[in-house]
Structure 1
């Protein structure tokens, strides 16, 4: 039976009209009992069939020996049998015409060895039967839509209905997330535990959820991506309409190991995820707390138009703390218009602070809070507000919550609430929940969330991907260079060859010439004009600091370059001397005479090829500073021109490029073009493993740039 289109059949998993729980059990504390009990007790609107060859009935429902014995059609099979029997059960499901399957059973790929073979058999059985498969080794699936009300999982609770969907690669993290959401009064529309992702993965559910009318915000817990390119395409299309917030666990530097280039060393195992998420609009968070703090606001509040925040509080100290947090999380404190200040003065006591943060004083009533919030939200210079209240003897938190809810509903600006009371706030939380206002225990949490909303809103303005293809490149010339490198058994490209490659792809390359004698060097220098640099070209010297001894030799040559303006003298002292060759202990093939670059800003451009993401591009502050400051930005190729500019602007060193303290701005257009050309080069030639251009000398605006030094590694 051919494999059916998975996305069109996910409806069988989320909204089946009938469910067979294969492995349902009456045994207390068994997974089979937990799953079957959940389907029953949370008022599933369809028909459920327990399947267990050793039982006549389970929890009062007639049981069947096999799924084939069920007389009626079955849409979904939830399988909880020993791992050795799962493939056979899936074959029977295929014979029954079942449209989807969830394998909760563990004991597959996660164990390695024989478990990998078992999982392959299960996947083969599902595909032969044309059944989309969730799992194995998963928690299950939940749909809170009242028209379905399906809890096909062994979670101990059913989330409240909401407009947030959660997809988790970890069942244990999923359980913790469900508990946290329930405690924080955050409702969910869907929950999916993808488990081992033998068949269906996060991309399939992302495609489904972006069209799901019950879902407005998508949350992801990821340990890896099954197909990063497809994820990019789906997320880029979805994120402008539905925010996607993701935790990607496993931030580590272990993946950077012994890289050959600066780019490879700086990339690490996590840079690709950061780059991919940023490019496709996914907002990355660091913890479950952040995930649900942000989700509660994204699901209920409009996005801010900017990052100007107003704070209304009855506690001056907390207002100061919130102001400090605003700076930390990328917000600016809004400056109120004169009209706003006048209205605040009319509605607040003389002792109140009218400036931002607005202090309505400790005895503030709900009327005072309402007046202050109304005035600041009406100010055109305010993009969002945070309301803080502490419990005083004269403070009615529930009344304040009602007033804030009423005022906030009349404005299209996000309003977040922090009521710092630990006891007897049930009524307050209910009011805020019904009014769709997110509540936070501490001011910093609310400020951090508003900052996240502002950053996300800014990212919505990111340019769509229209990648330029340069027609002025010479692919044949580059192919010829790589063929020569391969024939010589090298894993790297000599620097003159690297300059050939970059020149063929339209990079601004300094005038240069290969020479084999002092006379040739002198002639080349005369033709290109002084000052020039002379570089040793040898297969034994790839990176100037690859070994300490070679580093010393390179440094010696480097000092000579700086001191001499006539290449004849340099050749006579450093190249013609057999003693100098002995010092370098290198096989001198040729020398490279290169025109010295004019002074400019030193940048680094690089690429490392990630096994899953493909070419990972890098830009940063160059020269010897790159590994000290590590001021770099990464992106996954291909990139567009606007995104290239975004990479440049996000560097901490960007002020140095844009004109700092009277210095002329650098040629940003040329830097962006070099990034785009590097993207095309990396995609056109998959044999490039890593490369650095360090430095790319950037000249003042309109004067271009120049590739000075370059390294390319192949393999």
Structure 2
């Protein structure tokens, strides 16, 4: 889900001193079968719904939960179960829309729906709770409605309950389960935690720590992946569709036109019997026409219906959505606008709509969607505004914007590209590119994925989902704006303080091919879809002239390809046998990985022999080839030939040689990324993030943080925090005068470094703010006098000593390691070498945890000044392994502590053997990270 529509908290309990309702725990989740439901903390007003849930349970389910037959919950127990403090006693409920919820049914063309209640009636289908036993241990219990067992609801509730418990300082769950309750025992065993169990008096006691483990994280990610993929499959494989339009009223002409366009796209499938199509408010009244079943009202439609397309004024959508839930609809495609982009009233309307949709088990595509086209198996499902569907193929294409979907699909058509699926998410209030990537990762009918993204609401999730997909299928992305931080109207996205390069680093780290525009998107997609991946970057050129070959060689080098010097020229009047010999000679070169074929005759049309021979040689040898030939564009029959397995391979044709070479360069870099080891998640020894969490929590409590303002940590606290992850800060002492400085040096051991504490001069040896290798008291006297004179014009305040004495570190290269918690991206790690030039030129590498060892190594090597660490100009190489270890430890700390607002280690002096952290600062502030271990319904 998009996870980008913020929702206000439900009412806070009115009793004096009552605990605040933790609205941040509310979540919309996707279950194993692809349906949706809502999770939220229990409220005192849930008593009747909880009693109804209990009464509806089978006798067996009640016995397994309470170890006794209990027809009804006693009133005293019921009151206790719904009254919790959200700290030591916590309960989460899974809810769906109650049957018959909402006002009486209305036809789509009978005017606006009645205003929806703020809290529509809900039905509880699952409960999870914990009660703190002592300290960090809590007892847990679960109860799932009989009709919803086997959907993974207990596993989802466990994930969310564990996340809530960790926020409240609980680290261990215990549960008592009857031996015959094998399903619940399996939930605990399969969650990925280290489970211990023992049987006593006929009851199984289960005990496990709830701190995330590598296995538990993998289990959660895999569950999320499969659930979201299935929810998308339900939309894209739908064979029964309902189109709801506004009826004939003139004031709604645009909505009517859109509804008629969608219905026209469904008529061919309805006539052939491949689709069951219903329509309300589209056409001239009830009856069957062109295979479409027309109805007067939504309630007249016989269920079940898998997919609904709604084109109505926004104020009418909510009522219709409630009706659709009763028909068993799994997905709602909303082409209408007028929601979040329309201001506070529209945003409130969207929140209510999401509540109804998710509470009814549906996914929402839109608002302001262009629609969906799915045609993987020969049956076309076209519920879009396109004039005609594209050719069938093996490309998955996602486009948020409805207006920009028009030129994108037109370009697909001009190039002759074939699509397996096309999805426009519009303002992506629910379904997003992440969901489609989850599906395409499992879909055998999709080979290449292209995404046009106007905004990314959850970059951390995008990174892990895209990385998983890119490991076996290319993912090509274009974003609105270079920074990817453009927020169009209607898109609720968190603000960001991250550098503009951050998204670029996220995509590079994930193996995503990022391009500049829609034109390049299709340029790259067509080579990846129709040619094998490049085996390398060594490039040979087939050209019609030496000047063209030189141009191509220059462009190839700029695109990151390696021009081997292998160039074959084809004169314009070459005979067919000469063409074949020349082409074969080029493709037979063992030093050739990829080929660029350019045929630009100065007179007349292109020769059909050249494209035919190039296509044949490319297919036979498997060498990735792109072409620029007069009269050919995109995917053409002239450049198509079978490979040795009989599969047709097409050499894509481009309008300009530069376009062909740029696309080929992107393909080669992706192939190199996919063909290399991407490493393992960093797990440095001696890391205790639990101790770090306790320290930060204590300092937040002591610092009285308000309004998210960061609380700076003292030097001692920073040193203690870093020590929890095995990082030592070089000892230093702040002093007032010369005598104290000499005494400090005696304790630390000569030689020492003496520094000013003035922030602007603190690490500036070039400006005299730092004096190194101070060997004795005599040197100390002169250095202290010089530093105090230099700092005389700076006001430090009465409580800040002006001098700092520190033990000398081995000489080396100073570096800076930073971490900053961003509201959108989460923790952002940066590394660079110290100095004004680095800061002015932005010579810094970024990474977004969690990082692998390969990611860490790349971060250390990516700055332009990094060669200074590797023996620059004859100097000895420095201890790069120690730098990588430090970056890894900082990344683990930042990933584990959302409340760590900022951390800076500067300078970090790297020597030939080890490194020394000479300075460190940090601040903390309450955080609400977008992509935690549970999927939140609000930002």
Aligned match of 1:23: 245
- Given that 1:560 and 1:570 are in contact with CA atoms closer than 8 Å, whether structure 2 keeps it comes out as no
- Given that 1:136 and 1:198 are in contact with CA atoms closer than 8 Å, whether structure 2 keeps it comes out as yes
CA distance in 1, matches of 2:339, 2:512: 31
- Given that 1:313 and 1:360 are in contact with CA atoms closer than 8 Å, whether structure 2 keeps it comes out as yes
- Given that 1:19 and 1:46 are in contact with CA atoms closer than 8 Å, whether structure 2 keeps it comes out as yes
Deviation at 1:95, TM superposition (A): 1.3
Aligned match of 1:39: 266
1:358 aligns with 2:568: yes
Aligned match of 1:587: 798
Deviation at 1:708, TM superposition (A): 2.7
1:333 aligns with 2:333: no
CA distance in 1, matches of 2:916, 2:826: 26
Q: 1:501 to 1:127 in 2, by over 3 A?
A: closer
- Given that 2:392 and 2:420 are in contact with CA atoms closer than 8 Å, whether structure 1 keeps it comes out as yes
- Given that 1:322 and 1:443 are in contact with CA atoms closer than 8 Å, whether structure 2 keeps it comes out as yes
Bigger mean CA offset, 441-450 vs 477-486: 477-486
CA distance in 2, matches of 1:448, 1:442: 10
Aligned match of 1:12: 234
Aligned match of 1:493: 713
CA distance in 2, matches of 1:265, 1:177: 29
CA distance in 2, matches of 1:564, 1:444: 60
Tell me, what secondary structure is at the counterpart of 2:535?
coil
CA distance in 1, matches of 2:684, 2:724: 14
CA distance in 2, matches of 1:308, 1:556: 46
Aligned match of 1:127: 358
Instruction: Report how many aligned residue pairs link the two structures.
Output: 670
Deviation at 1:18, TM superposition (A): 1.5
Tell me, what secondary structure is at the counterpart of 1:661?
helix
CA distance in 2, matches of 1:49, 1:413: 49
Gaps of at least 5 residues in structure 1 are 256-263, 335-354, 546-550
Aligned match of 1:338: none
1:241 aligns with 2:461: no
1:459 aligns with 2:688: no
- Given that 1:6 and 1:132 are in contact with CA atoms closer than 8 Å, whether structure 2 keeps it comes out as no
CA distance in 1, matches of 2:383, 2:834: 54
- Given that 1:24 and 1:36 are in contact with CA atoms closer than 8 Å, whether structure 2 keeps it comes out as no
Query: 1:535 is matched with which residue: 748, 755, 759?
Result: 755
Query: 1:314 is matched with which residue: 544, 549, 552?
Result: 544
1:551-590 equivalence runs, <5 A: 558-559=768-769, 561=771, 566=776, 568-569=780-781, 573=785, 583-590=794-801
Aligned match of 1:548: none
Query: 1:115 is matched with which residue: 346, 357, 371?
Result: 346
Q: 1:433 to 1:609 in 2, by over 3 A?
A: farther
- Given that 1:168 and 1:174 are in contact with CA atoms closer than 8 Å, whether structure 2 keeps it comes out as yes
Bigger mean CA offset, 673-682 vs 234-243: 234-243
1:498-513 equivalence runs, <5 A: 498-507=718-727, 509-513=729-733
Deviations 1:27-58 (A, max 9, x none): 69711111111222577731212211883169
Deviation at 1:219, TM superposition (A): 0.8
CA distance in 2, matches of 1:494, 1:691: 12
- Given that 2:754 and 2:774 are in contact with CA atoms closer than 8 Å, whether structure 1 keeps it comes out as no
Aligned match of 1:260: none
Deviation at 1:68, TM superposition (A): 2.2
Query: 2:900 is matched with which residue: 685, 688, 695?
Result: 688
Tell me, what secondary structure is at the counterpart of 1:510?
coil
Tell me, what secondary structure is at the counterpart of 1:440?
coil
Aligned match of 1:290: 520
1:519 aligns with 2:731: no
1:98 aligns with 2:332: no
CA distance in 1, matches of 2:915, 2:847: 21
CA distance in 2, matches of 1:562, 1:201: 56
Deviation at 1:574, TM superposition (A): 6.8
Bigger mean CA offset, 213-222 vs 392-401: 392-401
CA distance in 2, matches of 1:378, 1:560: 64
1:221-300 equivalence runs, <5 A: 221-252=452-483, 267-268=498-499, 270-300=500-530
Bigger mean CA offset, 583-592 vs 317-326: 583-592
CA distance in 1, matches of 2:673, 2:782: 53
Q: 1:560 to 1:390 in 2, by over 3 A?
A: closer
Deviation at 1:159, TM superposition (A): 0.8
Tell me, what secondary structure is at the counterpart of 1:224?
coil
- Given that 1:623 and 1:694 are in contact with CA atoms closer than 8 Å, whether structure 2 keeps it comes out as no
Deviation at 1:639, TM superposition (A): 1.3
- Given that 2:243 and 2:278 are in contact with CA atoms closer than 8 Å, whether structure 1 keeps it comes out as yes
Query: 1:80 is matched with which residue: 280, 301, 311?
Result: 311
Query: 1:675 is matched with which residue: 853, 870, 887?
Result: 887
- Given that 2:259 and 2:282 are in contact with CA atoms closer than 8 Å, whether structure 1 keeps it comes out as no
Deviation at 1:481, TM superposition (A): 7.9
Q: 1:40 to 1:635 in 2, by over 3 A?
A: same
- Given that 1:557 and 1:574 are in contact with CA atoms closer than 8 Å, whether structure 2 keeps it comes out as no
Aligned match of 1:431: 638
Tell me, what secondary structure is at the counterpart of 2:582?
helix
Deviation at 1:687, TM superposition (A): 2.5
Aligned match of 1:408: 618
Deviation at 1:293, TM superposition (A): 0.5
Q: 1:70 to 1:484 in 2, by over 3 A?
A: closer
CA distance in 2, matches of 1:482, 1:162: 54
CA distance in 2, matches of 1:190, 1:114: 34
Q: 1:155 to 1:126 in 2, by over 3 A?
A: same
Deviation at 1:517, TM superposition (A): 5.5
Deviation at 1:359, TM superposition (A): 2.3
Q: 1:130 to 1:694 in 2, by over 3 A?
A: same
Deviation at 1:483, TM superposition (A): 4.4
Q: Which has the higher helix share?
A: 1
- Given that 1:53 and 1:66 are in contact with CA atoms closer than 8 Å, whether structure 2 keeps it comes out as no
Tell me, what secondary structure is at the counterpart of 2:771?
helix
- Given that 2:765 and 2:771 are in contact with CA atoms closer than 8 Å, whether structure 1 keeps it comes out as no
| CA RMSD in angstroms, aligned pairs only | 3.3
CA distance in 1, matches of 2:444, 2:485: 41
Deviation at 1:623, TM superposition (A): 2.4
Aligned match of 1:471: 686
- Given that 1:639 and 1:679 are in contact with CA atoms closer than 8 Å, whether structure 2 keeps it comes out as yes
Bigger mean CA offset, 640-649 vs 363-372: 363-372
Tell me, what secondary structure is at the counterpart of 1:299?
helix
Tell me, what secondary structure is at the counterpart of 1:646?
helix
